[in-house]
Chain A
């Protein structure tokens, strides 16, 4: 099927900083706010399948990289309860987690994965 390309509309460079309160600038900002999904207009940053998340034994949570550098997290307990949102402790973003609820109804903690070797074999 034909798909239209999504695009980011970037108005011309503004010489002034955002202290400029001109109606035009306000309009641009308003449009940007809606598109960027500012805090307050909460929508999920992304949608991730549970199999793409990593079990973190230390955090006791499934994790996925957050664009801020931290990790989105959802606990096993959350999943058992049917929670679909993984949150980042460092910022306002959150993920929608896609999983089969039945798989987690009485799920146990996944096996611990081997961590980084402290010294590499040269």
Chain B
């Protein structure tokens, strides 16, 4: 079984590192040429590698966000570490260097960061006082600073100084922010409707945050972004999607309520697919690698009729037949966390087992090769005594023992 994982865990203490440090608790695998694996190197790896987070972070990592080729780790103490591609300043260290190991973001040391997110080449950090800091590529206005400049140090977004930011989610070229007053704001590329309605037809992006309408009176509890897709979950577990089409063929510039019969607890967006967790059951929508499925296969069909948002006029979604595919669990194991890269997916079960599937060309499935997989495959990791978190960047995957 997995207990004797081939990760060299037993050999490491002899190499002069402290015993504690040698014990593995954080891993990464997949595309690594920009240092995004945080293992000290610049190569792809097809099997889990130790992620070089400082030992003092052990058991204190609360979230890892994966971007195009960089990643951000947040600790329960509100500290932030970044690594990987830094060409646009997305690591927030004040330069444009690639960094192949997690590096403490000194600029934020006097802030308690509570939420982080990584886009293609930009990064965002929300603090306990509701401030929002952004850095990296700003060419589409995705930093929300009112210009299209990039920044290599976290920069406070003025729009939010008088507001309280709770959560943020960054896509390829856009950013979403959830405020304490329940409004959802968007900024950055507007080409596919991902930041809401445009005021004019020629508007391709906006660099100042703007409120996205169309949620009604419900409380929004989470927001999601990847590629040109945007999504939100309300307090009842109802899903709203907008931006590039995930269902049907039409982009949507306002939130569209889909699968109202489901009560969804987690969402993971890819560039052409999404994972939904509802009542411990896993569903997928969309496709991998843009290959349209010619013949929808009847099976565990759940959702039937999608519902457009009350205000929707441009979208003809009311006639769309929506079908979800259900993924049964292995050996009755519960899926506790899901994650999605651009074209691959990952999950963690209640017993701490990690599974991956989808595109595998860079080893992002962690199975020792570059094959694609259509069914979830177990990654050979040591058994976790506590809970384990799973996170994806574009072409890489990260697993961290949370306690």
Contact = CB atoms under 8 A, between A and B. Distances in A.
Contacts of B290: 44-46
A113 B375 CA distance: 44
A119 B153 contact: yes
A65 interface: yes
Contacts of B329: 13
Contact of B94 (A9, A17, A65, A119): A119
Nearest to B32: A69
Interface residues of B, number: 82
Given A15-B331, A69-B36, A122-B153, A3 B375 contact: no
Contacts of A90: 31, 33, 362
Contact of B296 (A5, A13, A18, A92): A5
Contact of A114 (B135, B149, B287, B327): B149
A8 B285 contact: yes
11 contacts: A7-B296, A8-B286, A8-B288, A8-B293, A12-B375, A18-B377, A67-B341, A68-B342, A70-B69, A90-B31, A122-B153
B382 interface: no
Interface in A28-63: 28-29, 31-33, 35-39, 43-46, 52, 54
Given A10-B325, A117-B152, A35 B288 contact: yes
A14 B393 CA distance: 25
B80 to A, nearest CB: 16
B31 A116 contact: no
A120 interface: yes
A23 interface: no
Contact of A7 (B172, B285, B362, B367): B285
Given A32-B372, A91-B361, A67 B395 contact: yes
B328 interface: yes
Interface stretch (B19-27, B230-238, B316-324): B316-324
A116 B288 contact: no
A28 B373 CA distance: 10
A79 to B, nearest CB: 20
Contact of A6 (B95, B149, B150, B286): B286
B349 to A, nearest CB: 10
A112 B85 CA distance: 21
Given A9-B374, A36-B359, A120-B155, 5 more contacts: A7-B297, A10-B327, A18-B377, A33-B372, A69-B394
B291 A68 contact: no
Given A10-B327, A68-B394, A5 B322 contact: yes
B287 A54 contact: no
Contact of A29 (B291, B359, B374): B374
Contacts of A113: 139
Interface string B65-91: 000110000000000000001011100
B371 A118 contact: no
| Interface pairs A-B: 5 shortest CB-CB | A116-B150, A32-B374, A67-B342, A120-B153, A13-B330
Interface residues of A, number: 52
B71 to A, nearest CB: 11
Contacts of B323: 4-5, 7
Contact of A15 (B31, B154, B330): B330
Contact of A67 (B34, B137, B271, B322): B271
B152 A3 contact: no
B374 A68 contact: no
A72 to B, nearest CB: 13
Given A3-B249, A36-B291, A116-B150, A8 B273 contact: yes
A67 B343 CA distance: 7
B371 A18 contact: yes
A21 interface: no
Nearest to B66: A69
B284 A8 contact: yes
Contacts of A54: 139
B191 A11 contact: no
Interface in A95-116: 113-116
